[in-house]
Structure 1
């Protein structure tokens, strides 16, 4: 039982670190997906206005 008492704090801290890093990486992945989606939609919006629509006067 002494080994469990010695190793338990390290295991708990390791698991907390793992969960924290996993949540950070998942948040980053979701942010990158949202950014890519927004850029894709912005690109579609720009191309839709130049696909035969009236051009602005210069």
Structure 2
């Protein structure tokens, strides 16, 4: 039993650091995904505004 506890004590710090690393990386990936979705929405809105302005200009030119 003593050997098992020693092995567990040796592995526990690495497992803790690994868990922290996983949590931080997951947060970064989620933040990146959210930012990309927001940028895509903004690009779509800008494209829609530009198309609307272009169509309004072409109607006023006619």
- TM-score normalised to structure 1 length: 0.85
Larger Rg computed on CA atoms: 2
Gaps of 5+ in 2: none
Gaps of at least 5 residues in structure 1 are none
Normalized per residue, which structure has more helix?
2
Number of aligned residue pairs: give it. 56
**Which residue of the partner structure matches residue 52 of structure 2?**
48
Deviation at 1:54, TM superposition (A): 3.9
Indicate the RMSD between aligned Cα atoms, in angstroms.
1.8
